[in-house]
A and B are shown apart, each in its own frame.
Chain A
Amino acid sequence: MTTAPDFSVVADESPGPVPVPERKRIALVASKGTLDQAYPPLILATTAASLGWEAGIYFTFYGLDILHQDRFEKLKVASLANPSGPIQVPNVLGAIPGATAAATKVMKKWMRDARMPEIPEFIQMAQGLGVRFFACATTMGVMNVEASDLIEGCDIAGAAAFLDFAADADVSMFV
């Protein structure tokens, strides 16, 4: 008498579908509106998204300039109270007209020579990878910024909405 082959053992040993790992998450705060301080949150968020993480940046106070259509191409480097800045001069010279423009020009040249993207391009890269941009609603009210002043694709939100996102973050940083 023949019996049907038993495939159950083989079936039990099959690995089954590969589980999809839970994505890591980074929550960043961008609070500074100078050119040099605009880069770190965008670099970190873009890298995190490239690693497959969820990434979000909360742009608050001067950091909101990074999302401002009329300002994000004109971010500047401070020539005063910036001992590590691109032009090394005493503060008394850093205060003269044109010093901020000179420091900004030097940093932009550094970035260009190093083939680093400018801020608007970084924003496009980040948005292309799905990085979430939270625009601080309080900053908008305090500084009279309208939704139409901001680049497209921002979530206008308060601290609660950002903290709701950040509560599940594996990494959080304040810039």
Chain B
Amino acid sequence: MMTPQTSLTPADTLDCSGLLCPLPVYKAALALGKLGTGDILKLVTTDPGALEDIPAMARQRGDTLLATEDDGATQTFYLAKGATS
């Protein structure tokens, strides 16, 4: 697990608490679509599957997962939009 990087400044924050697959990925993709290359999306989830899903989403879309925080109940992801995503 990467350490929290509080220096990261998100361009947008998306709270997907209480939502299950595929909604966090679906909503994150829509949110990233509105950002420019390199912009950071802060994504909050409570779906345990997100710990696997969000890194997979970043790999498939070409975004960069900069940091992940997990307190057991809530996961927070910092995603930088890729050049081709």
Chain A residues engaging chain B, CB cutoff 8 angstroms: 18, 20-21, 24, 43, 46-47, 50-53, 114-117, 125, 129
Contact = CB atoms under 8 A, between A and B. Distances in A.
Interface string B27-61: 01110000000000000000000000000010011
Interface residues of B, number: 18
Interface of B: 18-23, 25-26, 28-30, 57, 60-62, 83-85
A47 B61 contact: no
A18 B21 contact: no
A101 B20 CA distance: 25
B60 A43 contact: no
B20 A52 contact: no
A46 B22 contact: yes
Contact of A21 (B21, B57, B62): B62
12 contacts: A18-B83, A21-B84, A43-B21, A46-B22, A46-B26, A47-B21, A47-B25, A50-B26, A51-B60, A52-B61, A116-B20, A117-B23
A47 B83 contact: no
Nearest to B25: A50
Nearest to B22: A47
Nearest to A20: B84
A114 B20 CA distance: 7
B39 to A, nearest CB: 16
Contact of A52 (B22, B28, B85): B85
A50 to B, nearest CB: 4
